[in-house]
Amino acid sequence: MKILYCASEAVPFAKTGGLADVAGALPPALAEQGCEVRLMLPRYRSIPLDGLRPSGAVTVNVGGDAATGTIFETAIDGSLVPVWLVDQPEWFDREGLYGEGGRDYPDNLRRFTFLCRAVLAWLRREPWQPDVLHCNDWQTALIPVLMMAEETRRVPTLLTIHNLAYQGLFAAEEYPVTGLPPSLFTPRGLEFWSKVNVLKGGLIFADTLNTVSETYAREIQTEEFGAGLDGVLRDRRADLFGILNGVDYATWDPSNDRLIAATYAAGDLSGKRTCKAQLQRTFNLSAVANVPLPGMVTRLADQKGLDLVAAVIEELLRAGVQFVLLGTGDPHYHQLFESLAARHPQQVGVRLAFDNTLAHQIEAGADLFLMPSRYEPSGLNQLYSLRYGTVPVVRRTGGLADSIVDLTPQTLRDGAANGFVFDEYAPQALLRAVRRALATFKDQHTWQRLQQTGMRADFSWARSARKYLTLYERARAKAAPIPKG
Q: pLDDT tens digits, residue range 355-395? A: 999 999 999 999 999 999 999 999 999 999 999 999 999 99
The per-residue pLDDT of the chain, averaged, comes to 95
Give Cβ neighbours of residue 140 (< 8 Å, ≥ 6 apart). 6, 7, 8, 112, 115, 116, 119, 202
Same domain, yes or no: 186 and 298: no
Cβ-based burial of 357 (10 A; exposed 0-12, middle 13-18, buried ≥19): exposed
Residue percentage of the chain with pLDDT more than 70: 99
Specify if 115 maps to a domain: yes
Q: State which residues form the domain around 142.
A: 2-246+462-479
pLDDT computed for residue 485 by the predictor: 35
Question: Measured between alpha carbons, how far is 355 from 335 in angstroms, rounded to an integer?
Answer: 19
Determine, yes or no, domain membership for 108.
Answer: yes
Q: If you average pLDDT over residues 20-34, what whole number do you get?
A: 94
Asked if residue 255 is part of any domain, the answer here is: no
Residue 331 near residue 450 (C-beta atoms within 8 A): no
What's the domain count of the chain? 2
> Is residue 136 domain-shared with residue 75, that is, in the same domain?
yes
Residue 481 has pLDDT above 60, yes or no: no
Q: Are residues 90 and 234 in the same domain?
A: yes
Q: pLDDT tier at 53 (50, 70, 90 boundaries)?
A: very high
Nearest-CA neighbor of 391 among 464, 436, 447? Answer: 447
Contact between 161 and 209 under an 8 Å Cβ cutoff? The reply is: yes
Indicate if 415 and 349 belong to the same structural domain: yes
Containing 383, the helix (H) or strand (E) segment is helix 381-387
The single-letter code of the amino acid at 284 is: N
Q: Are residues 34 and 98 in the same domain?
A: yes
- The CATH number of residue 382's host domain is 3.40.50.2000
Based on the domain organization, do 341 and 426 belong to the same domain?
A: yes
Give the residue from 86, 143, 152, 144 showing the smallest Cα distance to 124. Answer: 152
Region 52-62: mean pLDDT is: 96
The CA distance from 110 to 91, in Å, is 8
Which one-letter amino acid corresponds to residue 157?
A: T
Residue 327 domain-assigned (yes or no): yes
Q: Is residue 261 part of a domain?
A: no
With vertex at residue 355, the alpha carbon angle to CA 354 and CA 359, rounded to the nearest 5 degrees, is: 110
Whether residues 151 and 58 share a domain: the answer is: yes
Q: Would you call the peptide bond into 156 cis, given omega within 30 degrees of 0 as the criterion?
A: no
| 444 and 474 together in one domain | no
pTM of the model: 0.91
Q: Are residues 381 and 295 in the same domain?
A: yes
Same domain (yes/no): 32, 48: yes
In a domain, 262, yes or no: no
Q: Are 220 and 159 in contact, with CB atoms under 8 Å apart?
A: no
Contact of 76 with 27, CB cutoff 8 Å: yes
Q: Is residue 259 domain-resident? A: no
Q: Is the pLDDT of residue 331 over 60?
A: yes
For the stretch 159-190, pLDDT in tens is 999 999 999 999 999 999 999 999 999 999 99
- Residue 480 has a pLDDT of 60
